[in-house]
C-alpha cells in the first residue's frame, strides 16, 4: 500500500509540471496583445515596449515559464485584470464552494447509482428493471445546463420549493440548512448524468457476479437471497464499480461548471466562466490550474480507494 502510494506520488511530479506548462502555454496562445489590454489601444509603441520589458515578455518562453512557476510556488498568482484584486484571494474561497457542490453530487451519484442499480439487478427483467434501464439511457444524454434550466423552471419558478440561484439567502442566510436548501437543485443537476452511468455499471457488474458458480453454490446451499446480493454480489462487484465512479468524477467536475453558471453557485466553474467572459487571463489561468490540481488529487484518492478494495489492481 505504502509502496503504491509512493509510486503514484512520484508519478504525479511530471504530470504536475506538464499541467502547469500547458496552463502557461494556453494563455500565451490567447489572441490579442497583453500590453494593449493593459494600456489601451491608444498607447504608443514605446510605452508598450517598456511595459513588455517590465513584465518580462521579451524573454524566451521557457524562461518566462520558470519565472511564472517560481512565482506560483511562492504564492504569487498575479493580479486580476478585471477586478485588480489578487488572483489567489479570488480563487481560494471558490475551491471550497465547488467541493461542496461536487461532494454533494458525488453522494447523490453513488447512493442513487447503487440503490437503483442493485434493485434493478436483483429484479432482473421486471418492470422496474426495464423502466430504470430506459430512464438511465435517456438521463445519460441530457445536457446538464438544460436539465438545470428545466429543474429551476419546475421546482423554483413553478412550485417554488427551492431557490432559483445563489448559495445562501440574503436574510438570515448562510446556515447549514440554508446552504443545503440552495444546494439541492444544482447538485441534482450535476449528479444526473454520472448517476445514470453508475446505475448502469452497478447493474451490469452485479449481474456479472450473480452469474458466477460460487453464487449458484451459495444459492444451492440455501443462503438467503438478500445475503447473496449484499454480501457476495455487491462485495465482488465493487472494484469494477469504483473504477467507473472514478472515471465519472471528471464528468461530474465538468458538470459543476454548468450548474454553477445556471444556478449562480459561487464556485470555481462560475469564476472560470465570468473570467472567460471578461478575458481576465490571470484568473482563467489560476482557475484552470486549481481545477486540474483538484482533479489530480481526487483521482489519486479514487485510485487509493480502489487499491484498498482490491489489492490486485495495483499492477494495472
Residue 272 contacts other proteins per CB under 8 A: yes
- Identity of the residue, 26 or 301, whose beta carbon is nearer to other proteins in the bound complex: 26
- Identity of the residue, 29 or 170, whose beta carbon is nearer to other proteins in the bound complex: 29
Least gap, CB of 291 to other proteins (angstroms): 5
Contacts of residue 314, defined as CB under 8 A and 6 or more positions apart, other chains included, come to: 4, 307
d(CA 311, CA 303): 11
Q: Select from 273, 304, 309, 310 the one that contacts other proteins (CB under 8 A).
A: 273
Residue 82 contacts other proteins per CB under 8 A: no
Residue 146 contacts other proteins per CB under 8 A: yes
Asked if residues 67 and 56 have their Cβ atoms less than 8 Å apart, the reply is yes
**3 state SS of 56:** coil
Q: Select from 69, 142, 223, 309 the one that contacts other proteins (CB under 8 A).
A: 142
d(CA 27, CA 286): 11
Please provide the size of the chain in residues. 316
d(CA 52, CA 96): 36
Q: From 42-50, 65-73, 150-158, 229-237, give the range in contact with other proteins by CB under 8 A.
A: 150-158
As beta bridge partners, residue 79 has 86
Least gap, CB of 40 to other proteins (angstroms): 20
Residue 41 contacts other proteins per CB under 8 A: no
Which grid coordinates belong to 210? 450473480
Residue 94 contacts other proteins per CB under 8 A: no
Q: Select from 143, 174, 175, 311 the one that contacts other proteins (CB under 8 A).
A: 143
Q: From 47-55, 166-174, 236-244, 270-278, give the range in contact with other proteins by CB under 8 A.
A: 270-278
Residue 27 contacts other proteins per CB under 8 A: yes
- Identity of the residue, 176 or 221, whose beta carbon is nearer to other proteins in the bound complex: 221
Q: Select from 3, 10, 13, 31 the one that contacts other proteins (CB under 8 A).
A: 31
Q: Select from 49, 157, 217, 308 the one that contacts other proteins (CB under 8 A).
A: 157
- Identity of the residue, 143 or 311, whose beta carbon is nearer to other proteins in the bound complex: 143
Q: Select from 202, 228, 233, 257 the one that contacts other proteins (CB under 8 A).
A: 257
Residue 116 contacts other proteins per CB under 8 A: no
Q: Where do the H-state alpha helices sit in the chain?
A: 2-28, 34-39, 45-55, 61-73, 87-122, 127-139, 144-151, 176-210, 213-220, 225-227, 234-263, 268-277, 281-309
Cα dihedral sign, 33-39-44-45: negative
Least gap, CB of 26 to other proteins (angstroms): 6
Place of cell 447493474: 203
Residue 310 DSSP one-character state: -
Q: 80: left (phi > 0), else alpha (psi -120 to 50), else beta? A: beta
Contacts of residue 205, defined as CB under 8 A and 6 or more positions apart, other chains included, come to: 237, 240, 241
Q: Which residues bind other proteins (CB under 8 A)?
A: 14-16, 18-19, 21-22, 26-27, 29-31, 123-126, 133, 136-138, 140-146, 149-150, 152-153, 157, 200, 203-204, 207-208, 211, 213, 249-251, 253-255, 257-258, 261-262, 269, 272-273, 276-277, 281, 284, 288, 291-292, 295-296
Amino acid at each position: 500500500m505504502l509502496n503504491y502510494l509512493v509510486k503514484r506520488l512520484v508519478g504525479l511530479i511530471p504530470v504536475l509540471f506538464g499541467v502547469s506548462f500547458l496552463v502557461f502555454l494556453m494563455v500565451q496562445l490567447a489572441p490579442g496583445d497583453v500590453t494593449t489590454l493593459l494600456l489601451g489601444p491608444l498607447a504608443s509603441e514605446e510605452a508598450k515596449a517598456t511595459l513588455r520589458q517590465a513584465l518580462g515578455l521579451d524573454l524566451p518562453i521557457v524562461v518566462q515559464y520558470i519565472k511564472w512557476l517560481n512565482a506560483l510556488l511562492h504564492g504569487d498568482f498575479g493580479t486580476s485584470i478585471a477586478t485588480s484584486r489578487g488572483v489567489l484571494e479570488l480563487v481560494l474561497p471558490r475551491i471550497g464552494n465547488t467541493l461542496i457542490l461536487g461532494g454533494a453530487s458525488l453522494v447523490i451519484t453513488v447512493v442513487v447509482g447503487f440503490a437503483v442499480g442493485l434493485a434493478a439487478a436483483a429484479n432482473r427483467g421486471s418492470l422496474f428493471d426495464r423502466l430504470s434501464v430506459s430512464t438511465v439511457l435517456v438521463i445519460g444524454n441530457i445536457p446538464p445546463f438544460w436539465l438545470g434550466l428545466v429543474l429551476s423552471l419546475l421546482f423554483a419558478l413553478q412550485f417554488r420549493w427551492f431557490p432559483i440561484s445563489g448559495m445562501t439567502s440574503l436574510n438570515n442566510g448562510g446556515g447549514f440548512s440554508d446552504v443545503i436548501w440552495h444546494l439541492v437543485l444544482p447538485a441534482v443537476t450535476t449528479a444526473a448524468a454520472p448517476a445514470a452511468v453508475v446505475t448502469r455499471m452497478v447493474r451490469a457488474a452485479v449481474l456479472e457476479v450473480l452469474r458466477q458458480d460460487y453464487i449458484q453454490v451459495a444459492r444451492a446451499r440455501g443462503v438467503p437471497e438478500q445475503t447473496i446480493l449484499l454480501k457476495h454480489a455487491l462485495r465482488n462487484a465493487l472494484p469494477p464499480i469504483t473504477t467507473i465512479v472514478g472515471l465519472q468524477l471528471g464528468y461530474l467536475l465538468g458538470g459543476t461548471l454548468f450548474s454553477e453558471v445556471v444556478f449562480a453557485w459561487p464556485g470555481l466553474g462560475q469564476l472560470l466562466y465570468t473570467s472567460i467572459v471578461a478575458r481576465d487571463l490571470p484568473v482563467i489561468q489560476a482557475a484552470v490550474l486549481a481545477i486540474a490540481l483538484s482533479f489530480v488529487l481526487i483521482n489519486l484518492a479514487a485510485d487509493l480507494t480502489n487499491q484498498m478494495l482490491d489489492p490486485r489492481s495495483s499492477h494495472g
